[in-house]
Amino acid sequence: MAKHTNPNTDKSPTSKTRQPHIDNGLRANPATSIGRQHVESEEALNSVVEFPTIPFAVEQFASGQQTTAQILSADEATGESTQRVTLKKGWSAPIGHFTTDVEVFVLSGHVRQGGFPLRKLSYSFIPAGIPTGPWTAEEDTVLLWMPDARPTYVTNDYAQLEQIAENSAYHLNAQVHDRMAEYVPIQELSAMNWESTTFLPPGSARKSLYTNQKTGRATWILGLVPMWLEGNFFAGHPTTEEAYLITGDVQGHWSMSDAPFERRYAAMRKDGYYWRPAHIPHGPFWTEDGALLLFRTSVRLDCYWMLHNPDITQRDEIRLQEAVDKRD
């Protein structure tokens, strides 16, 4: 029987146990460590809303009393993870800084981070060491919580200060931090313009939320118009890729974790999710009603293309010639 692990608190780097819903059919030798496990299944693509719920606890930040988490995918050794966290209205945390980078994307509700109102469809990138807060859930809030490792929250430096927004924003730990340029206290989707995408056909657009200039690691929103078609190809990339469907549908040929090299049809729906290792080919995809997705890659996204159905291109000519030759 699998132990119910919690990547927020389980400090054992040698843990062999796994979240039951994440252990969804990987056939690879377990000694072939890939960090996070491949999460791509009909269940996860359909909706993660019913995934198991555990207390969400980060010392000094959240006790698990008013805070719960659903683990969508996780590296159980490091705590690097994507979690769907619920904060009850009235939850609060003092000014502090995390010891690892943390990304936050609000799906519904309203949580105040110091002077920044993180409302529905707001994003924040918080580098390790930059003070934030005080935090308050103004409403019941559901957000994606995406730490680079299991964070701790340091409050000692700020405990003597009045707990007001100015005291985190004005603090020297913030104003002279060498990664201040990476800090995104808030990006609200509804206030951002769409940009053209690099690889995809017309009918797609993006809103860039975070890009690491050195590695190309990125977080962005992808929008697809209704009836958008990707085309007659599929692709792999030298980066992990994950996405959460905020609204709409994405249909097509998925690389399920129980058979990652045999793509099969499924529909991704609202609150569907996947996390895919690098170089697992996937697609093509299309949408009926349009789609809005949160995307993340661990390094720069380059694409290696393959034809999806060669019969309608080069091989058609070969077959035609064969038929002509036979007739003659």
Binding site for Fe ion (CB under 5 A): 241
CB of 241 to Fe ion, least distance (A): 5
Please check whether residue 64 is in contact with residue 74, taking contact to mean a CB–CB distance below 8 angstroms: no
Handedness of CA 25, 28, 32, 34 (dihedral sign): negative
Residue number, 103 or 241, with CB nearest to Fe ion: 241
Proportion of the chain in helix, strand, coil states, percent, rounded to 5? 10, 35, 50
CB of 274 to Fe ion, least distance (A): 10
Residue number, 141 or 255, with CB nearest to Fe ion: 255
Residue 240 CB coordination number (10 Å): 21
Residue number, 192 or 200, with CB nearest to Fe ion: 200
Q: What is the DSSP letter of 37?
A: P
Q: Quote the CA–CA distance of 13 and 143 in Å, as a whole number.
A: 26
| Tokens matching residue 39 | 């999460």
CB of 282 to Fe ion, least distance (A): 6
- The radius of gyration computed from the CA coordinates of the chain, to the nearest angstrom, equals 22
Q: Quote the CA–CA distance of 9 and 286 in Å, as a whole number.
A: 39
User: Which residue is closest to Fe ion by CB?
Assistant: 241
Q: Quote the CA–CA distance of 252 and 265 in Å, as a whole number.
A: 5
CB of 307 to Fe ion, least distance (A): 16
Residue number, 241 or 271, with CB nearest to Fe ion: 241
Residue 18 CB coordination number (10 Å): 17
Q: Quote the CA–CA distance of 175 and 130 in Å, as a whole number.
A: 9
CB of 66 to Fe ion, least distance (A): 37
Residue number, 136 or 197, with CB nearest to Fe ion: 197
CB of 278 to Fe ion, least distance (A): 10
Place of tokens 């002077």: 115
Residue number, 241 or 249, with CB nearest to Fe ion: 241
